[in-house]
Structure 1
Amino acid sequence: MKTIDATLENVPFGGKVVVMGGDFRQMLPVIQKGSRSMIISSSLNRSDVWRHCSIFSLRTNVRVSLEQQAWSEFLLGVGEGCLGPDVHLPPEIQRVPSLLDLIAKVYGTFDDTATSLVAKTILTPLNIDVVKVNNMVLDVFPGEVMEYFSFDAIPHGVVNNESLYPTAFLNTIDDATMPLHKLRLKIGCIVILLRNLNTIQGLCNGTRLRVDSFIPTMIQATIISQGNFYGDVHLLPRIALYPSQSRLPFRFKRLQFPLRLAFAMTINKSQSQTLETVGLYLPNPLFTYDQLYVALSRTRIGPTGIVFCDGQRCLQRGFPLGDVK
């Protein structure tokens, strides 16, 4: 904007009106190995531009109807952390004793269309549980499994002794931003794209697709995320990927299709999603109230759109939130 008006060079956003939408009851940014002060400092209301912002509050929960006022107030109580150390879930939420029952309740017999499958998901706190749930859903999903194995290597010159990191070890590395070494897929399954391949054609990080067919060097898939590119068919290639948030002391390359199964996702990843049916799988306690708030507020049809499973850990008692007291 300074090329148009030199006085706008130091004006936030060049004098343009920018709308930043968000819910401060949701989770703070994730700072790996960051202290409490570092995490809080990275939030929006600690930014230098915050003093230039005007705050407009939206007080109507657009995800739930006016008839669900009690549910809306319950969500606000969870988000504010004022329901006590143990949160008792409303009786309208369906409870199931096992993960297999949860999968059956959420996905049924997989007779739904691809678009309705996108409106369903299973949420869990940890990436390791996401992989577990996705594999279990794939096992009961109809069809024959196709397996694609990655080629992993450390670029030349990155480490002094490459023999210290054999290929077998590299194959075991599971980074949330990378595809798995062994990518298991079936025709019709739902996947999520992990990289921007072609933003002009809608192939962006986070785009959901349905797998249509397998080719030795390509995967044919259809975009099923709602938007202008819904229904577009693409051929997806293998690409070289490098972990963006790895804690490893070295950098390595993985040649693989940039895809992961998307029947389940972490609660953090689900922020901004609006769904019809949500399965909540909690084999371990949640970290904070804001995780529970995000998980319970993803569905637009209220508590009847939530199925809860904790692996028989706390079905008959209160709902503990880790070390939050």
Structure 2
Amino acid sequence: LLFFSSRKKDDEVELRLPVVRVENPSRGTIQSSVTLSGHVEAKSMIPVVPLVSGTVLDFPVQVGQSVKEGDVVARLDSEPFDQQVMQAKASYLAYENAFKRVERLYKGGNATEQNYDQSKAARDAAKAQYDLALLQQGYATVRSKSSGTVITVMSAKGSTAAQGQPVAVVADLSALVVNLKVPEKYYTLIAQNKDSLSISVIHPDSGESFSAEPGPIDPYVSPQTKTFNVECRLSGNVSLLRPGMFVKTKIVYKTFSNVPVLNQSIRKTDGSVYVLKDGKAEHLEIIPLAEDEINFAVDESYADFQFIVDGQNSVFDGQEVKIQS
């Protein structure tokens, strides 16, 4: 009778033990990465800037149009500059004729060296004014300084173009970049692994991934924002991406292959885990080698541990547990 009573109590105790499921880490590959948001930009965006002011008589380009270096973007009213050229030319020819007379007299000994130098200086000054007038006349035709696509226009036929103010912007849409503001805690990890970085840019609508190469990394961290800039240069066919698009960019800065891997779901809210040791649950604080949204990798020293993967939220450190069969 005592034997059966003791056996019954043992069975009751075993029934009250929390039931857990355990697993050993599996082997896998995991990447350390950071995902940030940014905007697509054209690496080369060149404003078309008139060097003189004037009324726009012709504006033969529009947004989306391809242009080559030297193509006409706008024609300004050249009449004021035409008048300047005629005046400057007349003045120059007059001074040139006067200089030639003084030069003949000087060579014949009938004019002083001072007369000669003064006449020559006046002729040279008039020639400089004439050259400047010709240059300004040429500036009335505003040309693109680069080849690319017109992405912005700030003027139109009949408007007034101001000296130094852009009338259009030309961008090279075959060379796109994403400039990321990366938190300072990643500086060493990214800077030291620049040559092995793997970068992918995600299209905002289709979710398609585009490869990118690392460009310049800022050699400093902004004290105001606590970030540094990383330029990501898109490669391959980027025809689906356009400047201004809001994209997510993933930078993989380290890859761990054939390492012990576990699912993130086994971790408690504080990141700790439970393992099975001598029939009891043991609480461990583990710093992952690397982690992503789904898995995390642990050191080789944990490769043979039995991790509690189910029931870990109902046990405490040192508690006996029952293994789910």
State the TM bucket, normalised to the shorter chain: under 0.3
Greater share of residues in strand: 2
Q: Which has the higher contact order (CA 8 A, sep 6+)?
A: 2
Structure whose CA Rg is larger: 2
